[in-house]
Structure formats: C-alpha cells, structure tokens
C-alpha cells in the first residue's frame, strides 16, 4: 500500500530508499520505469555538460574583457 503524499514528502532520502528496497521484490515494473531512469541519467549528463560549458564561457569572457581592456588602455 502506498503512503500518503504527506508521509512521502516528510521522509528522508535514506528512508525512501529503504522503503523502495523493501517494496521492490514484490513489485513488477513496466517499461516506463526503465524509460524514466534512462531519461534521468540523460538529464544528469546534460546538466554536467551545461555546467562545463558555462565555466568555459565564463573564462573566455574574462579573457575577452582583459584583452579588450588591454587594447583600449595600452
């Protein structure tokens, strides 16, 4: 039996994992579960890539500002 929304939102991550592991052996999953996990992993990879690109743009902007400043004031 599923808990109430209130009980689920108040549980810690560790408690949710323990509850999931307790219920998993007696539960049949559908393909949607696997699709959702694949999507979650893809989104995680995309977030990592976006983070790296953001830092590259930041540092290239800093370099550009320095070079423009040098050009103007030199």
Instruction: Give 51-70 pLDDT, tens digit per residue.
Output: 999 999 999 999 999 999 99
pLDDT at 44: 96
d(C-alpha 74, C-alpha 71), whole Å = 6
Prediction pTM value? 0.57
* Domain extents in the chain: 5-73
Over 70: is that where the pLDDT of 1 sits?
no
pLDDT tens, position by position, 18-53 = 988 998 898 888 889 889 999 999 999 999 999 999
């Amino acid at each position: 039996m599923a808990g109430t929304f209130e009980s689920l939102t108040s549980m810690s991550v560790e408690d949710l994992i323990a509850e999931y592991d307790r219920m998993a052996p007696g539960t049949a999953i559908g393909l949607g579960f696997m699709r959702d996990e694949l999507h979650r992993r893809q989104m995680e990879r995309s977030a990592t890539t976006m983070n790296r690109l953001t830092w590259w743009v930041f540092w290239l902007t800093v370099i550009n500002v320095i070079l423009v400043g040098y050009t103007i004031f030199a």
